[in-house]
Structure 1
Amino acid sequence: MTRETVLVTGGSGFVAGHCILALLQAGYAVRASLRSPEREAALRAALAVPGLDIGERLQVAVADLLADDGWDQAAAGCSFVLHVASPLFTAAPKNEEDLIRPAREGTLRVLRAACRAGVRRVVLTSSFAAVGYGRSLRRPYDERDWTDPAAPGLAAYPKSKALAERAAWEFADGEGQGMELAVVNPVGIFGPLLSSDLSPSTMLVKGLLEGRPPALPQLMFGVVDVRDVADLHLRAMVDPAAAGERFLAVAGDFMTMQEIALALKAGLAERAHRVPTRVLPNWLVHAVARFSATARLAATPELGRRKNATSAKAQTMLGWQPRPAAEALLATGESLFRLGLVK
């Protein structure tokens, strides 16, 4: 039996790793793009799950979002592409174009290669950052909503995600006609780590387990498990109804940092004894931001803002059912301890 091949970009990343794992478990062949061939050994080690025979079903293609080289070879012979790769800084870049340009140009680079290769459908990993920033709503955000890149004070990351996704839809409506596009917009992604490489969300849990920050800013996050994000990618890849659609991925209501901290303490018991639960008043965050880079990250227009989002569309249209948010948070903590990453 000939297996269909799926290209997964950014193969060494947190979400991409779980997408690759889900595809292999579903019987697909996978070609993973990496910036360097030296990353292949670590990727195979991360995917060494008991009972899964990878064999030759996993291939590696070397390609970088900032260069054309390698993308035609990476997409050749693939039925589908999961474009997961995206530049992400743990601190705000000095020049926002350092984040925006790779996101937008890299997305178009992958889409053009997929189109030339005759790929049937591309599933783009966008973000809630392209949906729910720059303006406030009284109702939960859904797939009709877009982040305004021109909103005052908007950080580089949500701006980059909004502009990259807009560029993808414009490509699909023009140059890419004949190739289907679906988009997944996850909120904060938590869940079990496959390796010691940390994403911003898992770094948040690691910091809390180590007692950082000592008091919590009034920020809210959506939570979703990385395994459910991978599952939604596969559903968006094969379901005929998903073509031309966006899908928010969120498990229940948004949580404050204090609620996240309390969930960790309740589920991890003594191992979470250092997790802080005291809340900082907004005025103090703004005052400290003059002297602290960490406080400056919190002192954004999002500070003190209540928000929510719904994944009703993914659940109704694709039959997607996410795990509870607390389960995703605890799985993050458990894997951080298992891998020895909590100081």
Structure 2
Amino acid sequence: MRDDLVLVTGGTGFIAQHCILALLAQGYRVRTTLRTPGREAEVRAYLKVGGAEPGDRLSFVTADLSDDAGWGEAAEGCAYVMHGASPTPSGDYASEEEWIIPAVEGNFRVLRAARDAGVKRVVLTSAFGAVGMGHKPMTRPFDETDWTELNDKVPPYQKSKTLSERAAWDFIATEGRGLELAAVNPTAVMGPALGADYSHSIRLIKQMLEGIPGCPKVNSGFVDVRDVADLHLRAMTDPAAKGQRFLAIAGQSLWMREVAAILRARLGDAAAKVPTKEIPNTVVRLGAAAGNPALKALVPFLGVTMNATSEKAIRLLGWSPRSAEESIIAAAESLLRLGLIDGA
């Protein structure tokens, strides 16, 4: 029912803010959580860039995923919860435990609060990282039946997403007491930035526009944040979404060289610094062996196809995403418009 109150966790997050915009546009009232209360004005400023000035239709509660305080208040009176907040470990070289334990326990806090408040359904923002990592090379696109195989090649962030999503499904099965769950697993999230705090994936576009030396042979799926928000709304209310996970990808996955070609073809002079050459895998591996952390993080992905399919979301929920090219260009144009490209 429109005018229902929906809790969106982590209101400073990129996907969360687009979910708030989508909910407000559909007539819902929204409550969102912040770890620190002083960021309300910042969130409202980002939403204004997105075209919304919700006034008292948006409210804020202070709650941290690492602490029980505030979650009962946050969930009280809500019909639905969109849970995308994710704890950020301290330090550049955080241990796996620093990633995994807060992610799993944070999910439990949100799910318990939702259950105890009588929430109908939680939509969990998971990730492709819980689906497509640790596998031998695939001859078919990844789908929702796939789970990341936890092994030494899977980075801590993706391990945390895998274990926290599995823990959420286990909670629903054993302690949910009627609480419903759906999960959305986006690939690399593009689309319009609302300010300087945007998705990790959009940093790739920023780096390309600023002139990185070349494109590593890395493959990824892409999806627009506006379509991710739309999929969250569909998963929130459609009966067919109960107990289901949904991959979010627009079309086929792309190699970084193909992303660069899109930018150069569509942006003209603004893409003058975008690289045209692919960096050989041997060069990336040598840089990683020499201690470059950014290159070291790329090594497990070199030459690996990460194609996936959103056939399930399209068939069950009527989801219709814009093209990967459109979402990549929307990200780039927003960075240029907001003055976030150095030297532009």
TM-score (norm 1): 0.96
* Structure 2 partner of 1:147: 148
* Structure 2 partner of 1:231: 230
- Is it true that 1:73 corresponds to 2:81 in the alignment? no
**Conserved? CA contact 1:90–1:200, under 8 Å:** no
* Structure 2 partner of 1:111: 111
Helix, strand or coil at the partner of 2:32: strand
After TM superposition, give the deviation of residue 138 of structure 1 in Å. 1.2
* Structure 2 partner of 1:251: 250
Helix, strand or coil at the partner of 2:81: strand
* Structure 1 partner of 2:160: 160
Assess, with a 3 A threshold, how the Cα gap between structure 1 residues 256 and 342 changes in structure 2: closer, same or farther: same
Q: Counterparts of 1:259 and 1:190 in 2: how far apart (Å)?
A: 15
What letter corresponds to residue 158 of structure 2 in structure 1? P
Q: Counterparts of 2:316 and 2:37 in 1: how far apart (Å)?
A: 39
1:10-35 residue CA offsets vs partner (Å, 9 max, x unmatched): 11110000000000010000001111
Q: Counterparts of 2:297 and 2:155 in 1: how far apart (Å)?
A: 10
* Structure 1 partner of 2:139: 138
After TM superposition, give the deviation of residue 87 of structure 1 in Å. 2.9
* Structure 1 partner of 2:310: 311
* Structure 2 partner of 1:60: 60
1:122-156 residue CA offsets vs partner (Å, 9 max, x unmatched): 0000001000111032110000000012x232110
Helix, strand or coil at the partner of 2:176: coil
Single out whichever of 250-259 and 91-100 deviates more from structure 2.
Answer: 91-100
Assess, with a 3 A threshold, how the Cα gap between structure 1 residues 90 and 195 changes in structure 2: closer, same or farther: farther
Single out whichever of 23-32 and 40-49 deviates more from structure 2.
Answer: 40-49
Helix, strand or coil at the partner of 1:299: helix
Single out whichever of 123-132 and 135-144 deviates more from structure 2.
Answer: 135-144
1:78-129 residue CA offsets vs partner (Å, 9 max, x unmatched): 0000001113579863311111111111111100110010000000000010
- Is it true that 1:272 corresponds to 2:271 in the alignment? yes
What letter corresponds to residue 146 of structure 2 in structure 1? D
Q: Counterparts of 2:88 and 2:224 in 1: how far apart (Å)?
A: 19
Q: Counterparts of 2:230 and 2:90 in 1: how far apart (Å)?
A: 26
What letter corresponds to residue 126 of structure 2 in structure 1? S
Query: Aligned runs of 1:1-343 on 2, under 5 Å?
Result: 3-48=3-48, 52-88=52-88, 93-136=93-136, 137-149=138-150, 151-212=151-212, 214-291=213-290, 292-300=292-300, 302-343=301-342
Helix, strand or coil at the partner of 1:7: strand
1:283-309 residue CA offsets vs partner (Å, 9 max, x unmatched): 121111122222112122x21112310
Single out whichever of 80-89 and 99-108 deviates more from structure 2.
Answer: 80-89
Unaligned runs of 5+ in 1: none
What letter corresponds to residue 309 of structure 2 in structure 1? T
**Conserved? CA contact 1:93–1:99, under 8 Å:** no
Assess, with a 3 A threshold, how the Cα gap between structure 1 residues 134 and 3 changes in structure 2: closer, same or farther: same
Alpha-carbon RMSD across the aligned residues, in angstroms, is: 1.6
After TM superposition, give the deviation of residue 53 of structure 1 in Å. 4.8
Unaligned runs of 5+ in 2: none
What letter corresponds to residue 267 of structure 2 in structure 1? L
Q: Counterparts of 1:2 and 1:215 in 2: how far apart (Å)?
A: 48
Helix, strand or coil at the partner of 2:86: coil
Helix, strand or coil at the partner of 1:167: helix
Helix, strand or coil at the partner of 1:289: helix
Give every structure 1 segment of 4 or more consecutive aligned residues whose post-TM-superposition deviation is greater than 6 Å. none
Q: Counterparts of 1:264 and 1:88 in 2: how far apart (Å)?
A: 31
Identical positions, percent: 53
Assess, with a 3 A threshold, how the Cα gap between structure 1 residues 26 and 90 changes in structure 2: closer, same or farther: farther
Q: Counterparts of 2:2 and 2:246 in 1: how far apart (Å)?
A: 30
The number of aligned residues is 340
